[in-house]
């Protein structure tokens, strides 16, 4: 399946990723190869097959409404580049 650069740019934009021109080239090529691989699924005969929602064959795995310990706040924030008073700090984003 041919993948236009516009589509790749659009998906990158949705993911808030900025791509340099050479990255756009490379990723478009890679994504196209991935999609071609996946397109093989179109050849499978799926008449009468229920859509799969999970591959492990499990169902109804639940837990009781019982608390367990949360992380200590120092640990939660340990890898944050910016933090303040227990908060993560990010550049201001308002939609």
Partner 1 sequence: MEYEPVIGLEVHVQLETRTKVFCGCLTDFGAEPNTQVCPVCLGFPGSLPVLNKTALEYSIKVGLALNCAIQGFTKFDRKHYYYPDLPKNIQISQYDLPIAKDGYLDIGVNGQTKRIGIRRAHLEEDAGKLIHRGNASLVDYNRTGQPLLEIVSEPDISAPEEAYEYLTDLKSVVEYLDVSDCDMEKGSLRCDANISVRPRGTKELGTKSEIKNLNSFKAVRDALQYEINRHLELKAAGEQIVQETRLWDEKETKTLSMRSKEEAKDYRYFPEPDLPPFTIDKSRIGEIRKTIPELPKEKMRRFMKDYGLTLYDARLLVISKNTSLYAEERLKAFPSKDKKPVANWLIGPMAQEANSRNKELADIPVSPAALNEIIGLVESGQISNLAAKTVLTEMIDSGKNAGTIVREKNLVQISDESALATEMEAVIKENPKVVGDFKAGKENSIMFLVGQVMKRTKGKANPKIVRDMLKRRLTDA
List residues binding partner 1 (CB under 8 A).
14-16, 52-56, 58-71, 73, 76-77, 82, 84-95
In terms of CB distance, is 15 or 40 closer to partner 1? Answer: 15
Contact yes or no for 82/88 (Cβ under 8 A): yes
In terms of CB distance, is 22 or 57 closer to partner 1? Answer: 57
Three-state secondary structure call for residue 31: helix
Q: What's the closest the beta carbon of residue 32 comes to partner 1, in angstroms?
A: 18
- What span, in angstroms and rounded, lies between the C-alpha atoms of 92 and 31? 32
Q: What's the closest the beta carbon of residue 20 comes to partner 1, in angstroms?
A: 19
In terms of CB distance, is 48 or 91 closer to partner 1? Answer: 91
Three-state secondary structure call for residue 60: coil
Q: What's the closest the beta carbon of residue 19 comes to partner 1, in angstroms?
A: 15
Residue 85, CA distances (Å) to 47, 48, 77 in order: 57, 57, 10
């Amino acid at each position: 399946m041919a993948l236009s650069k516009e589509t790749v740019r659009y998906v990158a934009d949705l993911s808030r990723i900025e791509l340099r021109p050479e990255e756009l080239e490379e990723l478009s090529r890679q994504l196209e190869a991935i999609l071609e691989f996946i397109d093989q699924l179109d050849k499978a005969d799926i008449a009468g097959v229920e859509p799969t929602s999970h591959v492990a064959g499990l169902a109804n795995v639940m837990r009781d409404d019982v608390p367990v310990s949360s992380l200590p706040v120092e640990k939660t924030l340990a890898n944050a580049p910016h933090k303040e008073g227990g908060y993560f700090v990010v550049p201001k984003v308002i939609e």
